[in-house]
Amino acid sequence: MRICIFGAGAVGSHFAVRLALAGHEVSCVMRGPHLEAVKSRGLTLRVGDARFNAKVSASADPAALGPQDLVISTLKATSVASLASGLRPLLRDDTPVVFAQNGIPWWYDIGLSADHPATPDLSFLDPGGALRAAIPRERIMGGVIFSSNEVIEPGVVANLSPDRNMLVVGECDDRASDRIAKLRAVLEGASIASAPPPQIRETIWAKLLTNMSMSVLCLLTGQTARAVRDEPALQQVIPRLLDEANAIAQSCIPTVKRVTRSGPAPEHKPSILQDYELGRAMEIDVLVRAPAAFARAAGLSTPMLDLIAGLAMQKARDKGLYKAG
């Protein structure tokens, strides 16, 4: 199968190696020193003491890679708009595109079931409607990544969650299609777990519950998730914030499992804090602003979320890493 990973940073590079070693013809859209290293030495995945190397095609120009059977976008939400112009050379008539990102995706309201509550205006996730104009509904697949990775040097990515590497996928309208079944088989064959979700948006919200609460607290404090969970000064704050996050998610998908403070908390910095420290554009809109919009649409009072959202926006804006659309 010809598979293109569009935006192969840490997690995309990890998946690229696994898919290539499983026998697929893998190409990557990437840039900078990472691209140059991959072109000369291939792509290396480190899992503990083990090292896996794979030869993949790589370019900053999608047109150099040719038509694909599948495109998996692992771009961060702040960069996903580049797909509007970059995808076309990669597409055959029936090529699907998996949008695997954190937070509320730009396509959230496309293919919604009739019983889903009305969504707020999410046009700020796709300014000018460029993605909607370029990518028709029939190509869209949702994806949610559960995998912790880090590019430790150009061309080398380390997997930090050897027991939890998963890409949950689903059609945007949650139908059980042959292509989704085939994709899950491809992922499982490459040692990337891919259990079928009841609804793809349920999985989106399940992951977002932690990102919109604990991860934002990590950003504001500069601490790891475990340090935030164990911080005495936050013992009364965290439950209130999680109660609000759970209420927002369950106003959309009642079956979303509640997240509590007693859940696992890894000793690492979430991506939103990493982005801040590295001076990269931050996923404020999809992790904070969009959930706040859902809260308003549902008539929910969320003073804790409103407070940390405002602080996160100001912190990112003061460093030039966020500009509200």
Active site amino acids: 207
Long-range residue pairs from 62-66, CB within 8 A, at least 24 positions apart, any chain: 62/4, 62/6, 62/29, 62/86, 62/87, 62/88, 62/89, 62/90, 63/89, 65/4, 65/27, 65/29, 65/89, 65/90, 66/2, 66/27, 66/90
If one counts every other C-beta atom within 10 angstroms of the C-beta of residue 48, the result is 9
Q: At 267, phi and psi to the nearest 5?
A: -90, 60
Identify the residue whose tokens are 């730009």: 106
Identify the residue whose tokens are 């009072």: 301
Half-sphere exposure of 321 (CA within 13 A, CB side): 20
SS (H, E, C) 156-213: EEEECCCCCCEEEEEECCCCCCHHHHHHHHHHHHCCCECCCCCCHHHHHHHHHHHHHH
Find, among 187, 155, 171, 188, the residue nearest to 54 by Cα.
Answer: 155
Find, among 120, 121, 129, 75, the residue nearest to 98 by Cα.
Answer: 75
CA of residue 218 relative to chain centroid, distance? 18
Taking the C-alpha atoms of residue 116 and residue 272, their distance in angstroms, rounded to an integer, is: 29
Hey, is 141 helix, strand or coil? strand
